[in-house]
Amino acid sequence: MKTLARILAVVPLIACAAAFGQAYPNKPIKLIVPYPAGGGTDIAARWIGQKLGDQLKVPVIIDNRPGANGNIGTDAIAKAAPDGYTIGMATPGPVTVGRSLYPKLAYDPEKDLVPIILANDSPIVLVTNPGVAAKSLQELVVLAKEKPGKLTAALVSTGSVPHLLTELLKSAAGIDILEVPYKGGSPAMTDVMGGQVDMFFSVLPLVLQQINSGKLRALAVASDKRSALIPDVPTMREAGYPQVSGSAWNGIVVPAGVPQAIVQRLNAEIAKVLELSDTRENFSAMGMEPGGGSPDAFARFLRIESEKWAAVVKAANIRAE
């Protein structure tokens, strides 16, 4: 009898949770983007938001909250009401690198954010000014060893994945390169094309046109496989440096405490968006690959990324500016 009573007590709770999940959503959803409008993360968010809104029959409103390398907007996601009506874009800096880089981060990415899905992935490519006397990564390493401290590399934001890849390459190849800090990819690209700086790691969408026009030379991509957009460019693994691996990705997260039924609903609906043929075409044109997978798979990915980059930050003694 006691067992039956316990079962009967649980049934209403299950029914209530199911009804709650089915009723969701019944008002607009806010999608926080922790960066300014116009960047890659914002573009991906607007596409996903539009398609998600179409599927859910409610508006998805983009809310740009830039500042502090994405930390301000990510903190706003973490502190939002856990009702499923505020979701946010997650990126490597504030979600997997920030805890190692900032000793007093206002939120705990692991405790305060719940992963929904990996939205997209963008390859990162090492490019040089065409005037650099190296047509391959192997030749660049030889050149750097012949002239220690003479070659220059633009660093795109302290603690960014391109910055960390620069540190990984220096360590793996045993080379000394003079690092020149920049506050963004566009000014870094301009100076590399102009010859003021020799090289830098960049997200592919930013430099694809310049690679195709010959204004930049692509030496290697830091992905597991070659990019279909630059199929002749080898991976770092193929070039002999498998340790130099990383990409620029976007994901969707919600504040901790959002009901599991809503987590699963959002995952299923966004997965449908990512599987659309026009999503794949649109993302491919921008140098991005659609993501997917379960919330648990995204959570595992975030843990692995966090551990990997924490080790690089510590080894290179990187400090937040």
The amino acid that residue 16 corresponds to is C
| Collapsed DSSP state (helix, strand, coil) of residue 281 | helix
The total of structural domains in the chain comes to 2
Among 221, 239, 260, give the residue marking a domain's end. 221
DSSP state of 25: -
Are 105 and 42 in a shared domain? yes
308 part of a folded domain: yes
pLDDT at 313 over 90: yes
For the residues 139-157, what does the mean pLDDT come to?
95
Using pLDDT thresholds of 50, 70 and 90, give the confidence band for residue 10: very low
The CA distance from 74 to 107, in Å, is 8
pLDDT band for position 13 (cuts 50, 70, 90): very low
Pick from 221, 256, 290: which residue ends a domain? 221
Q: Do the domain assignments include residue 281?
A: yes
**Across the chain, what does the average pLDDT equal?**
92
Contact 79, 255 (CB under 8 A): yes
* In a shared domain, residues 31 and 76: yes
Q: Does residue 242 sit within a domain? A: no
Whether 239 maps to a domain, the answer reads: no
Inside any domain, residue 232: no
Range of the domain at 185: 124-221
Does residue 60 share a domain with residue 26? Answer: yes
Sheet holding 199-203, edge to edge: 178-182, 152-156, 199-203, 124-128, 217-221
Q: Residue 316: which of 186, 207, 158, 203 has the closest Cα?
A: 158
> Is a pLDDT exceeding 50 seen at residue 110?
yes
pLDDT band at 21 (very low <50, low <70, confident <90, very high): very low
| H helical segments located in 113-225 | 137-146, 161-173, 185-194, 204-213
Among the listed residues 200, 159, 142, 154, the one whose alpha carbon sits nearest the alpha carbon of residue 181: 154
Q: Is residue 179 part of a domain?
A: yes
Whichever domain contains 64, its CATH number is: 3.40.190.150
Whether residue 11 is predicted with pLDDT greater than 60 in this model: the reply is no
One domain, residues 74 and 137: no
- pLDDT at residue 73 in the model: 97
DSSP 246-257: --EEEEEEEETT
Residues 213-224 have pLDDT tens digits of 999 999 999 998
Instruction: For residues 25 and 117, state if they share a domain.
Output: yes
* 16 has a pLDDT exceeding 50: no
In a domain, 212, yes or no: yes
Residues 15 and 102 in one domain: yes
CA distance 33 to 41: 7
What is the b/e burial string over 15-33, where b = at least 16 CB atoms within 10 angstroms of the residue's CB? eeeeeebeebbeeebbbbb
What percent of the chain has pLDDT above 70? 93
**CATH number of residue 186's parent domain:** 3.40.190.10
- Mean pLDDT for 262-275 is 98
CA atoms within 13 A on the CB side of 286: 20
Is 139 in the same domain as 66? no
Structure tokens at 73: 């907007």
In the listed set 186, 221, 256, which residue is the last one of a domain according to the structure?
221
Write out pLDDT tens, residues 195-213: 999 999 999 988 999 999 9
Residues 117 and 128 in one domain: no
The whole-angstrom separation of Cα 318 and Cα 159 is 7
Question: Is 262 a residue whose pLDDT tops 60?
Answer: yes
- Residues 214, 152, single domain; the answer is yes
Instruction: List the beta bridge partners of residue 90.
Output: 251
> Which of these, 76, 71, 75, 89, lies nearest to 31 by C-alpha position?
89
- 113 and 22 share one domain: yes
Examine the domain organization and report whether 69 and 91 are in the same domain.
yes
Using 50, 70 and 90 to split pLDDT, how confident is the model at 321? low
Angular region, 259: left φ>0, alpha ψ -120 to 50, beta rest: beta
Cβ neighbours of residue 85 closer than 8 Å, sequence gap 6 or more: 25, 27, 28, 29, 30
Question: Which among 20-24, 99-103, 258-262 has the top mean pLDDT?
Answer: 258-262
Query: Within the chain, what is the greatest distance between any pair of CA atoms?
Result: 83
**Is the same domain home to 82 and 140?**
no
Is the pLDDT reported for residue 8 higher than 60?
no
Q: Which of 91, 66, 243, 211 is nearest to 161 (CA)?
A: 91
The answer to whether residue 140 sits within a structural domain is yes
Per-residue three-class SS string for 180-196: EEECCHHHHHHHHHHCC
